[in-house]
Amino acid sequence: MAVEPLFGTRAQKAFMITIAVQAIVVVTMVALTFGIVRVNAGSTFEDLGYKTLPCYLALFILAEIFELIMALDALRSRNIIQLMGIVLFHGALIVFSALQIHETHVAIFNCVPPCVIDTNHLWNKVQGFLIVSPCIIAASWLFLMFWIKQLYDEFGWVIFHVVGANPKFKSMYQFYQIFICLLKFDFFCFVGVTMQLLIVVLSGSSAEFGVTIAAIPVVLLLLAGCARAVKYEVKWLMTMALILMVAAMTYFLYKLVRFYEPSSEAQYVSTRATLTVFTVTAFLLVLASFVIGIKCLRDFDKGLLESKAHGQSYTPVKTHVMDVFRMERQSSYSPGGVPLQQQISIE
């Protein structure tokens, strides 16, 4: 069967266009909200606890760029599991954008003395833009699920070409794909939590700020090490990565306690709902990665290494024909040695 080129079908183009259009609309809505509040607050913007809004804008820009890159990568590699992960991620964006209505309300009414700004007037000006975001994301979500069905039919046969018809190999390869996909979403959630802490909450002179900064390279090395270990079946590196995952889960639990601890809850009040969602999600993703990682570690040295290292490059080739397949076709269908039709090689 021929391999369709990237963006070679209507479903592929429509999937990317849907994500791109909703990204532009949503980021525009968030930017307008930020701009309106910034203009109305004037010189008091930095002093009155409005850090929630630039953080909100930064997170949505990060989320939309991340989703676009993930979608492009999933289409390039014909990865159905990652496409389904994107649909789940898009659903999470609906929740996140809905939470921001509450978070922005808290920032406007709790952080600004009424004598400085007419908070009701300001809220009425931005409320519409805030409501548009979850509505647009939800509408695009329905379109994405429609295109996912067509992409599933289009890409569903690829794993067969990568690992063959062996059901055991197919199962192991799918767990490998799930693990790699989870690592990518782990990265986003960690960056999301860290960005909120550094922009909104923590003081640069606090010990917790230093701990958060120190955690960044550790987690990034963890994720990169995990990906390399599982792809090339490096047992010692995979074991170290799984141990660090336990440490990461402990870190997320520690931060969750800090959000609600009486001695520290006040500094998180304006972003506690979003931080809680991000932190709990990050914890659950790392937990899932740990469990799936153990399964992948048990599958090492069972014959899947070649498929993992070289099985996700789908390059259409015009003239190359596999020797064995050529001999079989000539003996069965072309006894007179008639030249074969052009074939596709999946390397």
User: For residue range 109-130, what is the model confidence (pLDDT) as tens digits?
Assistant: 765 555 456 777 878 888 888 8
* 223 plus 237 within the same structural domain: yes
Residue 329's Cβ-count burial label (10 Å; 0-12, 13-18, 19+) is middle
Digit-coded pLDDT (tens) for 203-255: 555 676 777 787 788 888 888 888 888 888 889 999 998 998 898 889 888 88
Task: Determine the 3-state secondary structure of 45 from DSSP.
Answer: coil
* 298 plus 211 within the same structural domain: yes
* 115 plus 240 within the same structural domain: no
* 136 plus 24 within the same structural domain: yes
* 113 plus 76 within the same structural domain: yes
* 23 plus 125 within the same structural domain: yes
* 299 plus 194 within the same structural domain: yes
Which sign does the torsion angle of CA 213, 215, 217, 220 carry? Answer: negative
Domain hosting residue 56, numbered range = 1-156
Q: Among 156, 177, 198, where does a domain finish? A: 156
Q: How many domains does the chain have?
A: 3
Q: Among 140, 156, 172, where does a domain finish? A: 156
Digit-coded pLDDT (tens) for 245-289: 898 889 888 888 888 887 777 777 667 777 888 888 889 999 999
* 186 plus 262 within the same structural domain: yes
- Distance in angstroms (rounded) separating the CA atoms of residues 274 and 94: 12
At position 296, the amino acid (one-letter code) is: C
* 346 plus 334 within the same structural domain: yes
Count the neighbouring beta carbons within 10 Å of the beta carbon of residue 195. Answer: 15
* 170 plus 308 within the same structural domain: yes
Q: What is the pTM of this model?
A: 0.76
Place of tokens 């599958």: 299
* 56 plus 138 within the same structural domain: yes
Q: Among 119, 135, 156, where does a domain finish? A: 156
Pure H helices in 197-264:
207-232, 235-260
Residue 308's Cβ-count burial label (10 Å; 0-12, 13-18, 19+) is buried
DSSP one-letter code for 199: I
- Distance in angstroms (rounded) separating the CA atoms of residues 261 and 255: 10
